[in-house]
């Protein structure tokens, strides 16, 4: 079976990009990174991609101005670049842009995101600070299909971590990030192999051989 071509969209450091680069280095992994695209010309993650030999592209959103028409024009350029690279799966990895409903609809079922909370709790920004303030005891991260509503798409997998006494936002973020680096490649693998998919009913369907999942990682990446 041919490997699925993955585009990773970044705006910053690209640590989740690195986890996908590392996973794709395994010849048995069912996907390959065919494009790393950033909306920020100076994103450090572009250096990670270059070091791994992955093709890179910058589409600077600031060149499109502001407002609904500018957002639509940026997303059209984004979609055109993905189509030109013949991308099968699009992975958002710290991509700090809210995508238009038209873009999300066009790439529905092929557009993934990772969020540093156990969705549907703590959508949006400043997640770690808000979890500390709320006093939650279990935190984590979620990989989901992207929908038009922010951080609300069907969930593919989640990983949980404890919130320890004395944690601050940075300490909790670091613990969650470790699990993000495990969870994202595991979920991309399931999608690329066709063992998990988004159905017409808007829910994630798994093959029977996909385990229910370990307590700290669901679904199980095996």
Residues with a catalytic annotation lie at 115
Long-range contacts of 97-106 (CB under 8 A, 24+ apart): 97/11, 97/39, 97/61, 98/71, 98/150, 99/75, 99/146, 100/71, 100/72, 100/75, 101/148, 102/72, 102/75, 103/75, 103/78, 103/79, 104/146, 104/147, 104/148, 105/148, 106/79
Rounded Cα distance between 107 and 97, Å, is 15
* Pair of tokens at residue 50: 């270059």
* Pair of tokens at residue 189: 């693998």
Is residue 7 within 8 A of residue 19, CB to CB? The reply is no
């Amino acid at each position: 079976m041919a490997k699925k071509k993955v585009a990773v969209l970044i705006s910053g450091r690209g640590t989740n990009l690195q986890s996908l680069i590392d996973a794709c280095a395994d010849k048995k992994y069912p996907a390959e990174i065919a494009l790393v695209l950033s909306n920020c010309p100076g994103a450090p993650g572009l250096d990670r991609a270059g070091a791994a030999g992955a093709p890179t592209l910058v589409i600077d959103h600031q060149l499109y101005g502001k407002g609904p028409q500018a957002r639509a024009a940026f997303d059209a350029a984004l979609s055109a670049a993905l189509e030109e690279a013949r991308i099968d799966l699009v992975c958002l990895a710290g991509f700090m842009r809210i995508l238009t409903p038209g873009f999300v609809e066009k790439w529905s079922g092929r557009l993934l995101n990772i969020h540093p909370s156990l969705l549907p709790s703590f959508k949006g920004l400043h997640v770690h600070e808000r979890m500390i303030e709320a006093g939650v005891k279990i935190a984590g991260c979620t990989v989901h299909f992207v929908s038009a509503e922010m951080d609300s798409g069907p969930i593919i997998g989640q990983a949980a971590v404890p919130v320890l006494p004395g944690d601050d936002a940075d300490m909790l973020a670091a613990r969650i990030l470790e699990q993000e680096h495990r969870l994202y490649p595991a979920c991309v693998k399931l999608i690329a192999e066709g063992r998990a998919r988004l159905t017409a009913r808007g829910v994630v369907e798994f093959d029977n051989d996909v385990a229910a999942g370990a307590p700290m990682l669901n679904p199980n990446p095996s």
